[in-house]
Chains A and B, each alone.
Chain A
């Protein structure tokens, strides 16, 4: 019986051990994955980032299967333009989206799609030149989608080398919108830009584009009604003032008490040395008033009053700063403590 249980326990333990080991190995594996984050911190030698899953947008790209729009008039199209270094802007691609009207009059974009034009030979040359010169690749979008000629463009730029960190070119747009207005566009590689700097032209001249539309959020004030809070506590507060801790209330009594106890203890420690053969049975009031205060500790508070009288008698020949404290202690503590 006993052996089986021991065997069972042993096997259980073994199993647990395996499970634990497995768990730790799988944990180690997970921590390896977290290196993506390290890249975001800009650590040196971090491996090339995979595009983080959360940045792969739902409203994304490259799906050419154009859904036949139910109401065509709400479809909207706008152009992406790009520039190499200080060259002029030229068309680089087209965004298409659906304009959704809300009952309250607001308009938002949904179903954003992006198709990039193929890069021409001169574009490729320019791009190579940018990478060599470590210069900026610039893009721009119209700032108002309904009136695209009217106002200026929002610009964004990125060092060209950041886009060509892998074989093909990776780009990521975050378009900050307010209704039909483009406030700004965040343009860059999907992950971070590699450091130390590597400048090499891409082998495949095609863009992997990711786009994300961003609308702002509104502040929702956490309503704290001061009146209500006061109403709940107000009456209560009037009745009982906030309770202070015991220490806060009685520290001025406790400190002298502590002093006296300490005093008594030191005396008590001295006593056995001097009175090694003292008889505890013969303790009377006289004995206490004599010299030994050892029982004061043992008897505790109950005897304290007597002890104080003893100290007062001692005062004749022992000037102690405890005197003041001990007398005050007696006046008040009798009511509080006993």
Chain B
């Protein structure tokens, strides 16, 4: 009787609590997402420590970031990421309050407010030709009571006001074909000089009036030996260079309109000098540092251009610029490596030789490589003596501040330049190994739930709220090192440009291990190694569970495709390098095959520049598997330069000098030639290999069957008119077009070809979903078009399918940087397209918006199927920003990883920043939310049971009374 109602009510209460949210609530930020900010490898650093204000260091980096860091903790005060084309050349501080950046090859000068990073002014300095950009900020030089700085760029020298960036005067210096290398201004003088080389054999110098820019004098002189490399300035009127054959040093003195050369053979200065020497670009007045392959030497210029070796510095790896100390002396820092430790020496340079001011050894972990750069700064100690702090940049791009022989702070800025990401499962929880420490204390657990209950009933005090938030953050062991039931905890193996491998935990983003790969370090055989990609080498999940997973790291010696390849296999749990091969044949492309051997090592086919295919792993078993399947292995190659697409298959073993069973020749099976005058390949996309499709066929409203993928071998290719390859805006829409192809990669059949007029690149494509820029003629607005192609009817490789396609294009109000699709474990959950917008955010767009079957007025049946009425543009719903209020600066890629829980997918977006979150495109229909209050549920059930009994007793009593009445 009443029981039914009560059960109903109870259900109602439970349902009302299990309500899940569409988007995030404010207090849920940081629960399942993390965001890390980086700046990249530091190129320049300027300290700002004079004033009593917060001590800071301003840096510019290879990731094109200008940032102000807290000198005490290494935190970012402010940061600006400039566009990739706007490379920062120089930075400095002017007037003690502005950070000056010179960028874009000396054509853009900006001033940023030092405390908060607001841009104060910007000047564009245009000139006829590119030249070495130079920035000179004199400490206190004024024209008409305005502080002035000098900028050389694009062949012009500019005197610019520090206050507002106005050009006071400018003068062309490139007319004589001089390549200006240095600007020289000594305090208090009336002239500024610009020196450089004319061609390779002539030295030239301009003397200009500092107030008006008037050219006072131009002098030049030829040196028969010629020059090589850069000019290094020693004093205001002396410079040093190396001659063209690299055997002697040339001291150039230019004084009072006279130029004199003085040549000193290097073999006189340095014992057993063999190979080329380089003048390291450190700025130590009166002296310079010569870097030869076996030693570093400090050399002083004494009168009349004579050179004198002051000190052999041994195997120093980095030397800082000179620092002027209050007493008129100067000091510089020198870093050496000794027995796995870092030896920091600060040397005092005075007229009578050098002396060590400071000598410290610092222990750094051995996965950092060598020191690349040193920046020195001084401070006054408690005892009024000079103290020194240095900022060092390591080989793995990390940044350290050292002071008093200790590491004050460090930053892992290598993570700002991620090349590739691979997810790896964590180990399975074993008996006896850290079993759920979180749930071990029942009392704690109950207390936690009581707190949550209080929060839910809104009777929690602020302290309680804080406690709840803290508990949530460290809740449920999300940072444990074992696999969880839902598959949320994983390791992200990340390869950075510096050749360092990191393992990040998806729970909180911490670094589990990191390793500077031996293979990807500079060596005799490989001068400029570069990591290209990561591949799953061994991913045991069935019969080899006791094995750790391994990843394959592929690299290349140099930038060209035919340079030698590097391979390394690394344990994903410990970071141990199990195996490395270097340098091997060139590597153009890596094909992970769908076969694994008995150890679950995946077979990989590596294609080299000579169109040979190399099989890895090199075992007899793998060869056996490959031989059996080689008749069914096809691949394609797109040659963008030639405009051809070719299909290949395995042919027979290579004919080489030494027999190699694992090397196969390939042969062309088909080719498609795009007309070079009207088409250029802009993008290709295939379906991702690890995508799981749950329902292959879909029955549409009108009882037709649509197939998800016609074939696994489908290639989407887009070509644009050759003119439209350049950046947006380089062509008018009339003269550009985009042609989309669907090609079967086994037979080379063009299944579909369609032309979109008025579209331009860049094209981003993900399988089935294409996306390209479109300029609308009348509005002159950049917009993006997205469309999908759905194909019906399946094919066998050699049948001629009648493909029916449906396509639809939409406008999208943002430009895109990158695209990805959410992946789930079984492919049941509907998909979302993740769009990396130009504003460095990630927007999740439901795939239904991209359905090509959308019509203006969908019929009732179509509406039931979930087809949205057609609109011209795609909606941007502010709540669907995956990154909510955050920005992933310099966004370059989005990786999606399916979790074990079907509804959920893990998203990792990387750029200069890293961002990780969990997404549930159709909401978490298969689990309760993490903060679901079990205690509340239990208490409700308990109290209801009590209430039922009480009322039952009451009603019995009452009935008895009635009966007695």
Residues on A facing B (Cβ under 8 Å): 39-42, 54-55, 86, 134, 136, 138, 143-144, 151-159, 162, 172, 174, 176, 178-179, 181-184, 186, 188-193, 195, 214, 216-219, 221-222, 224-226, 229, 255, 259, 262-263, 266, 270, 291, 317-322
> Interface readout for B804-840 with A: 1 if CB under 8 Å, 0 if not?
0001110000000000000000000000000000000
> Interface readout for B733-776 with A: 1 if CB under 8 Å, 0 if not?
00000010001000111100111110000000000000000000
Partner of A157, one of B651, B669, B755, B797: B669
Q: In the docked arrangement, what's the CA distance between A190 and B1, Å?
A: 73
Between A and B, how many residue pairs show CB distances below 8 Å?
A: 159
B237 on the A face (CB < 8 A): no
Q: In the docked arrangement, what's the CA distance between A151 and B754, Å?
A: 24
- B13's nearest neighbour on chain A, judged by CB, is A321
Q: Which residues of B contact A39 (CB under 8 A)?
A: 799
B950 on the A face (CB < 8 A): yes
- A179's nearest neighbour on chain B, judged by CB, is B675
Task: List 30 contacting pairs A-B, 8 Å CB cutoff, sorted by A.
Answer: A138-B669, A144-B675, A151-B673, A151-B676, A152-B671, A155-B670, A155-B671, A172-B800, A179-B675, A179-B678, A181-B675, A184-B670, A191-B799, A192-B799, A216-B755, A218-B754, A219-B754, A219-B755, A219-B757, A219-B809, A222-B808, A226-B872, A259-B9, A266-B1, A266-B4, A266-B5, A319-B947, A320-B2, A321-B5, A321-B947
Partner of A319, one of B675, B793, B950: B950
The answer to whether A183 touches B798, judged by C-beta atoms less than 8 angstroms apart, is no
Q: In the docked arrangement, what's the CA distance between A153 and B873, Å?
A: 42
The answer to whether B870 touches A266, judged by C-beta atoms less than 8 angstroms apart, is no
The answer to whether B753 touches A226, judged by C-beta atoms less than 8 angstroms apart, is no
Residue among B674, B755, B757, B799 having the largest count of chain A Cβ atoms under 10 Å: B799
The answer to whether A216 touches B739, judged by C-beta atoms less than 8 angstroms apart, is yes
Taking the closest CB of chain B, its distance from the CB of A105, in whole angstroms, is: 12
Q: Which residues of B contact A226 (CB under 8 A)?
A: 871-873
| Closest A-B pairs by Cβ, 8 of them | A42-B796, A192-B799, A216-B753, A193-B798, A143-B673, A184-B672, A181-B675, A186-B749
Q: A138-B669, A155-B646 are in contact. List 14 more A-B contacts (CB 8 A).
A: A40-B799, A86-B667, A156-B747, A157-B670, A176-B753, A183-B675, A188-B798, A214-B753, A218-B754, A224-B856, A224-B870, A259-B8, A266-B4, A319-B951
- A150's nearest neighbour on chain B, judged by CB, is B676
Partner of B750, one of A183, A195, A319: A183
B439 on the A face (CB < 8 A): no
Q: In the docked arrangement, what's the CA distance between A195 and B671, Å?
A: 26
Q: In the docked arrangement, what's the CA distance between A39 and B796, Å?
A: 9
Q: In the docked arrangement, what's the CA distance between A262 and B3, Å?
A: 11
Taking the closest CB of chain B, its distance from the CB of A22, in whole angstroms, is: 26
B795 on the A face (CB < 8 A): yes
Q: In the docked arrangement, what's the CA distance between A270 and B959, Å?
A: 13
- B774's nearest neighbour on chain A, judged by CB, is A221
Task: From known contacts A41-B794, A182-B673, infer whether A225 and B872 are also in contact, taking CB-CB under 8 Å.
Answer: yes
The answer to whether B871 touches A156, judged by C-beta atoms less than 8 angstroms apart, is no
Taking the closest CB of chain A, its distance from the CB of B809, in whole angstroms, is: 6
The answer to whether B756 touches A40, judged by C-beta atoms less than 8 angstroms apart, is no
Taking the closest CB of chain B, its distance from the CB of A204, in whole angstroms, is: 22
- A180's nearest neighbour on chain B, judged by CB, is B675
Task: From known contacts A42-B799, A216-B755, A317-B958, infer whether A153 and B1 are also in contact, taking CB-CB under 8 Å.
Answer: no
Task: From known contacts A259-B8, A319-B951, infer whether A217 and B754 are also in contact, taking CB-CB under 8 Å.
Answer: yes
B445 on the A face (CB < 8 A): no
The answer to whether A156 touches B5, judged by C-beta atoms less than 8 angstroms apart, is no
- A219's nearest neighbour on chain B, judged by CB, is B756
Q: Which residues of B contact A270 (CB under 8 A)?
A: 1
Q: In the docked arrangement, what's the CA distance between A192 and B802, Å?
A: 12
B962 on the A face (CB < 8 A): yes
Chain B interface residue bracket vs A: 35 or more
Taking the closest CB of chain A, its distance from the CB of B160, in whole angstroms, is: 48
Taking the closest CB of chain A, its distance from the CB of B38, in whole angstroms, is: 41
Partner of A162, one of B675, B678, B756, B798: B798
Q: In the docked arrangement, what's the CA distance between A183 and B795, Å?
A: 22
Partner of B754, one of A143, A157, A179, A216: A216
- B671's nearest neighbour on chain A, judged by CB, is A155
- B759's nearest neighbour on chain A, judged by CB, is A219
- A178's nearest neighbour on chain B, judged by CB, is B675
Q: Which residues of B contact A157 (CB under 8 A)?
A: 669-670
Q: Which residues of A contact B797 (CB under 8 A)?
A: 193
The answer to whether B800 touches A154, judged by C-beta atoms less than 8 angstroms apart, is no
Taking the closest CB of chain B, its distance from the CB of A228, in whole angstroms, is: 10
Residue among A55, A138, A183, A186 having the largest count of chain B Cβ atoms under 10 Å: A183
- B8's nearest neighbour on chain A, judged by CB, is A259
The answer to whether B9 touches A321, judged by C-beta atoms less than 8 angstroms apart, is yes
- B805's nearest neighbour on chain A, judged by CB, is A217
Q: Which residues of B contact A193 (CB under 8 A)?
A: 796-799
B304 on the A face (CB < 8 A): no
Q: In the docked arrangement, what's the CA distance between A198 and B275, Å?
A: 69
> Interface readout for B1-24 with A: 1 if CB under 8 Å, 0 if not?
110111011001000000000000
Taking the closest CB of chain A, its distance from the CB of B220, in whole angstroms, is: 51
Residues of chain B in range 944-959 having any CB-CB distance to chain A below 8 Å:
947, 950-951, 954-955, 958
Q: Which residues of B contact A318 (CB under 8 A)?
A: 951, 954-955, 958
The answer to whether A183 touches B753, judged by C-beta atoms less than 8 angstroms apart, is yes
Q: Which residues of A contact B947 (CB under 8 A)?
A: 319, 321
B177 on the A face (CB < 8 A): no
